[in-house]
Amino acid sequence: MAESSRSRRHRLLLTLRRNLFASPLDGLITLVLLAVCGSGLWFLMHWALIKADWAVVYENVCLYFNGIFPADHVWRSWSWLAVLAALCGLTLWPWPLPRPLMRLLPLLWILSLPIGLVLLASGLGLEPVRSRFWGGLQLTLLLTLGTIALALPLGILLALGRRSSLPLLRWLCTSYIELIRGVPLIAVLFFGQLMIPLFLPEGWTFSRVLRAVLSLGFFVAAYMAEDVRGGLQALPRTQLEAARSLGLSPLKTITLVELPQALRIALPALANQCVASVQNTSLLAYLGLIELLGISRSILANPSYLGRHLEVYLWLALLYWAVCILMTSLARRLERTLNVTGHH
């Protein structure tokens, strides 16, 4: 017993030495890196626990999450966030769930956006709240979900159009994709905010939020289209021939045979686009939306929180990071479920 534990310790020491102190230079590098990391961590902890004043965060929690949503209706905003949290929890639940609930989950996710719109805007007897009162994390998530809900179907259609046998359609889709991919997002967003109103008929107005979702959605769709196209191209031609031989129409071949497989292949890339979309919504702070970054900037503009940038941005980083981690885990979960029921 003692013998083996000593030999194990011996082996551990050997491994450490081989990996970290193989030569004098290696040893030096290891020590320097340790010193840098250690002092960095020490500095951060010292700052976060002693010097930082987190009042700017905890006094404004409601603002970060709900923006300037009217106080007597703010429960609606909280409820929507709670719905999303519950959906995430159910989806990521590591233990088996009742089958009917599992079946219902995709539908619930699809419904999460309309539910959010009802809760935030109006409907079902709720008093209307104008979209300029939406903000904070709630608006960031709404923008993200709206963008995905628009970009995914549009991206699929663009990808299908790009390989259509109709030359005009193919040309249009290809040009659209190439054009959008050649323009920076911020330009598209400015275009959306400033130009969409000019194209609308007299008397029509689109709220800023809708304009933002439209521009983000049309932008992301071009990238998603390329991911879906990659998935479609990865399918062997013989799948198509098998479907055709069974008498499936071109439309049914696409929806029943090609797309389910292509989307599965494209899933990691599509998830990537979704995570990027979360971060891209922050650009809208510069176009007057008070989503997570926007509301933080207004909080920082309050004289009583003068110079509290570091606290706020660290807190923001944490929130964005949490949202992105959640989305990545959701995507991985979906991937795993799909792999269990098919392929490999």
Partner 1 sequence: MAASAAPSPPSDSGAQPGDAWSAGPELAVRSQELDKIFSNGFQALRKVDLAVGKGEVVVIMGPSGSGKSTLIRTFNGLETIQGGHLEVLGHHLDADNNQKVVSKIRRHVGMVFQQFNLFPHLSILENVTLAPIWVQKRDRQKVKKDALALLDHVGIREQANKYPSQLSGGQQQRVAIARSLALSPRLMLFDEPTSALDPEKVKEVLETIRTLAAEGMTMVVVTHEVGFAREVADRVVFMDEGMIVEEASPQTFFTDPKEERSKLFLSRIL
The contact set with partner 1 (CB under 8 A) reads 238-239, 241-249, 252, 256-257, 260-261, 264, 341-344
Minimal distance, residue 334 CB to partner 1, in Å: 14
Closer of 49 and 251 to partner 1 (Cβ): 251
Among 290, 315, 291, which Cα is nearest to 305's? 315
Minimal distance, residue 90 CB to partner 1, in Å: 24
Minimal distance, residue 343 CB to partner 1, in Å: 5
Q: Is 212 within 8 Å of 151 (Cβ atoms)?
A: no
Minimal distance, residue 200 CB to partner 1, in Å: 41
Among 315, 319, 312, which Cα is nearest to 279's? 319
Rounded to whole angstroms, the Cα distance separating 236 from 257 reads 11
Rounded to whole angstroms, the Cα distance separating 119 from 332 reads 29
Closer of 44 and 256 to partner 1 (Cβ): 256
- DSSP secondary structure string, 230-270? HHHHHS-HHHHHHHHHTT--HHHIIIIIIHHHHHHHHHHHH
Closer of 246 and 276 to partner 1 (Cβ): 246
- DSSP secondary structure string, 99-143? HHHHHHHHHHHHHHHHHHHHHHT-BTTBPP--GGG--HHHHHHHH
Q: Which residue type sits at 156?
A: I
Minimal distance, residue 72 CB to partner 1, in Å: 50
**Which residues does 226 contact at the CB level (< 8 Å), separation at least 6?**
159, 177, 181
Closer of 7 and 249 to partner 1 (Cβ): 249
Closer of 7 and 239 to partner 1 (Cβ): 239
Minimal distance, residue 240 CB to partner 1, in Å: 9
Closer of 150 and 240 to partner 1 (Cβ): 240
